[in-house]
Amino acid sequence: MPPSRSSYGDRTLEQLEGAIRSPEYDSFLASRCHALFRVPLGEFSDEDLRIMIGQNLGLRYLIPIALDRLQKNPWRAGDMYEGDLLAAVLRSSEGFWENTVNHSSLCRVLAVVEAALLQTPPDLPTYDDILSLLTGFTKRFEKPPTER
């Protein structure tokens, strides 16, 4: 279990999870993820969270931070589109949710999505995307863990 959120804002993923290898190829995404391992979590922008969660890195530390932010504004955006942080959380690794999810975490995700859908007119372009992601996210939990 990660330390309480208030105790790791000044810590980096490198400190919490250990160093990662240098990128094997030169791409913006690989370089950015490598660099973000050395940034204190309290300094992560919404875009930083979106990138790292999208790559399934540091999820046990970053998902709780993202959910805290999304509870205040479920349509928070990184650099892609409104709701891209929520979309990254909903797309995150099924293995993460199977291994670390607890009832309260799942309820927090569903509350954020419900708030997003209730606050948004259905004609917003990302509305249908979030609804589709929610359907996929909840289907993960329809089967017992042994059948997933």
Query: Cα(63)–Cα(52) distance, rounded to whole angstroms?
Result: 10
- Cα 41 from Cα 16, distance rounded (Å): 10
Contacts of 112 (CB under 8 A, 6+ apart): 67, 70, 71, 74, 86, 89
Output the CA angle 8-22-85, nearest 5 degrees: 50
Taking alpha carbons only, the member of 61, 60, 56 closest to residue 40 is: 61
Domain boundaries, the chain: 5-147
At 80-89, the pLDDT tens digits run: 888 889 889 9
Low-confidence ranges of the chain (pLDDT < 70): 1-7, 100-106, 120-125, 141-148
* pLDDT for res 37: 94
Please tell me the predicted confidence (pLDDT) of residue 76. Answer: 84
pTM: 0.78
Instruction: Write the CB contacts of 42 (distance below 8 Å, at least 6 apart in sequence).
Output: 9, 10
